[in-house]
């Protein structure tokens, strides 16, 4: 299965609010970052902290972030367009923000790095700060 097919499977699962990850898509030690900041930093941990690595990397890291998005955007949907030549993609994230009827829509840029086996070893997402502020606010509402 190609990387694009595995990514399509991940998007289909996400849009059904499932945490399934196609086999071989993510390396077990894959790193995630947002606007260049490692995910472990958002958890208040050092990138070498074994506990942070356990929950912030690979499939566990993806599931942790997906669950947060499902909570923040109960009707979240993504559309993913991969430029296979550069392993760059645009993600269109839409939904209704938690605690309101406000529609949310933003485009995210993602750059993927794959390892020798073809699995993603690094995913760096770029987002506008205004969109992130909206998500943070919705996540904090009861």
- How confident is the model at residue 46, as a pLDDT? 87
Lowest mean pLDDT among 39-48, 107-116, 119-128: 39-48
What is the set of domains in the chain, with CATH numbers? Answer: 3-140 (3.10.450.50)
Terminal Cα distance for the chain, rounded: 41
C-alpha 54/C-alpha 41 separation (Å) is 14
pLDDT at 141 over 80: no
Lowest mean pLDDT among 6-10, 12-16, 32-36, 115-119: 115-119
Share of the chain above pLDDT 70, in %: 99
Encode pLDDT of 45-97 as tens digits. 888 888 888 889 999 999 999 999 999 999 899 998 888 778 999 999 999 99
C-alpha 104/C-alpha 127 separation (Å) is 13
Angle among Cα 90, 93, 94 to the nearest 5 degrees reads 145
Q: What is the mean pLDDT of residues 37-45?
A: 90
Sorting pLDDT into bands at 50, 70 and 90, what band is 142?
low
Q: Is 81 or 17 the better-scoring residue by pLDDT?
A: 17
- How confident is the model at residue 47, as a pLDDT? 85
């Amino acid at each position: 299965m190609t990387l694009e097919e595995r990514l399509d499977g991940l998007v289909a699962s996400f849009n059904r609010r499932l945490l399934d990850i196609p086999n071989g898509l993510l390396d077990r030690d894959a790193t995630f970052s947002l606007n260049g900041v490692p995910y472990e930093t958002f958890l208040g941990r050092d990138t070498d902290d074994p506990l942070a690595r356990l929950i912030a990397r690979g499939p566990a890291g993806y599931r942790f972030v997906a669950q947060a998005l499902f909570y923040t955007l109960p009707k979240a949907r993504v559309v993913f367009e991969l430029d296979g030549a550069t392993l760059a993609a645009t993600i269109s994230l839409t939904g209704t923000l938690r605690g309101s009827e406000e529609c949310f829509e933003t485009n995210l840029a993602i750059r993927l790095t794959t390892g020798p086996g073809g699995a993603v070893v690094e995913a760096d997402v770029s987002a506008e700060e205004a969109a992130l502020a909206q998500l943070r606010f919705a996540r904090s509402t009861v």
